[in-house]
A = this chain, B = another copy of it.
Amino acid sequence: MNRARDTKARLLEAGRKLFAERGFAGASVRALTELARANLGAITYHFGSKEALYGAVLAFMFAELRARIAAARARPGSAAERLGAIIQALFLFFAEFPEAPRLIIHRLAAGALPPAAAVAQFRPAVDAIVTTVREGQARGELRTVEPLLAAFTLISQTVWFAVARHMIATVSGLPFDRPEMAAVVERHITDVVSRALAPTGATR
């Protein structure tokens, strides 16, 4: 029983590593099971298919992200402060799971959508940001802007930085791939979101 749980956990870990490095098609069942020290049939036994293992890996990551966004959202403070806490949670998540953006963009690069199991975890994460914006608008703390577009402004900058920081460092000649620069970019995004959503006519 414990051994089966261990094998399943090791397969998830191997999937997280190899799907990030090689993409879904590039990570073979043989390479995945070898890395997990499992037999060739273990993926079928524990998950049903390689696609289902990939879905489980993404669902695990998005569930983690979702829990962190929910915790940030639950903090006391103004809507702008809670959105700042959400941005901080996203930066921490990408620092702890540096393979996360590659797991997603491999799939987007292939012209396909993430598996439904992953989308099911991702949607509530986006909804939590949308709801935070809506609450701030209801209290007059944020201006009227489509909440989904406000969430897009927060997510797109944060995710693109996680995806492209090495390229940005190369193109700009500045060390955007160093941890201290992540803090600078995090403050910048928080500032942009706050200014973009400040009530019209507000003096800052």
Contact = CB atoms under 8 A, between A and B. Distances in A.
A114 B166 CA distance: 10
Contacts of A160: 155-157, 159-160
A80 to B, nearest CB: 13
Interface stretch (A29-37, A47-55, A71-79, A195-203): A195-203
Q: Main secondary structure on chain A at its contact with chain B?
A: helix
Interface in A16-51: 21, 23, 25-26
**Interface magnitude class on chain A:** 35 or more
Interface in A150-169: 152-153, 155-157, 159-161, 163-164, 166-168
A179 interface: no
B204 A204 contact: no
Contact of A114 (B167, B174, B189, B196): B167
Given A21-B111, A105-B105, A111-B21, A168 B152 contact: yes
B152 A161 contact: yes
Nearest to A188: B149
A106 interface: yes
A153 B192 contact: yes
A1 interface: no
A108 B195 contact: no
Given A122-B171, A196-B192, A201-B203, A102 B113 contact: no
Contacts of A119: 170-171
A145 interface: yes
10 contacts: A23-B110, A105-B108, A123-B171, A146-B188, A152-B161, A152-B168, A153-B189, A155-B160, A156-B161, A159-B164
